[in-house]
Structures are given as C-alpha cells and as structure tokens.
Amino acid sequence: FGNPRDTWDYWQRWHEQYMDVSVAPVIQLWSQRPRDLLTVRQEARRYGSQPIVCLSNPAKMTAALWGTRLTTACSLIRQACGASTHIHLLGAGWSPTDVLLYRQCTDLSSLDSITYYLAAQRGERWCSCASCHDTATPWSTVALHHARVLLRP
C-alpha cells in the first residue's frame, strides 16, 4: 500500500465486517520516508494492544539500510502494543545474505522474504535433500525448504 492511513482504514473495515475473524495489523510506512520512527510510533499507538503486529518493509530496504532503527522500531511497537507482541517483518531481505542479516535483529519475532520464492523459481537449490534436487519437485516446495535453511538456528 505505501500509505499508513489507507492501511488503517482497511484494517478498521475488516474488523467492522468480520468481527469474529482476527487479523494482524500492519504498520505501514510512507514509501518516501521508509525509516520514519514517528510514523511507527503513531501507527503502533493507533492499533493499541495486539498479540501480533506486522511491520511492512517499504522500498525493498536492506537490513543494512534499516540499521539500528529497526531495533528502535520494534521497541516502539512493543511500548504501544504490548511487551510480548510478536513482531513479523514483511518483506525481509532481497537476497540470502540480507535475510541472514535480518535474522540478527533479535527484536524481530519472525520474518518472511520473497527471496525464497524467486531463487526457487530460478532453479536454485539451497538444500541438499533429495526432494529439492528432484526436478519433479514443485518450486513452491523448494521455496519452503529455502526458508527452513535460512531460518535454521
């Protein structure tokens, strides 16, 4: 979306129409200000107490570009949404190296990356299991294996 106001409006409408179906809020940042901590604070306060919050990674930002602001953003979210809030980063990493760098941010609870899928579609295999090296294995299965390889402790 790239517009925090629109994201908030969509979230509110969802809750009005489907009250009994829980959906995690997404803290969306302006694409022109992708590391704006004021927006993170405002949006987190707007959503209030939440068990899970997603943080959108705008503009294909690398972990290096976020720097320490990512840790600060997580802190602001937990201050507003709850100390035990699970923070999921949407769009974390555009290469295997970048995903590994995002994993070093211990304030994130989880992350996802399109890298798993793009590499699988290109025919890359990061896993040594027989399933991944079988040409009949669908790329979507290989992508899940990619995620497991990078997310392994």
Residues 19-77 pLDDT 10s: 898 889 999 988 777 778 999 999 999 999 999 999 998 767 788 888 889 999 999 99
Residues 61-109 pLDDT 10s: 788 888 889 999 999 999 999 999 999 999 887 788 888 888 888 999 9
pTM: 0.85
How far is Cα 19 from Cα 12, in angstroms, rounded to an integer?
10
How far is Cα 103 from Cα 111, in angstroms, rounded to an integer?
8
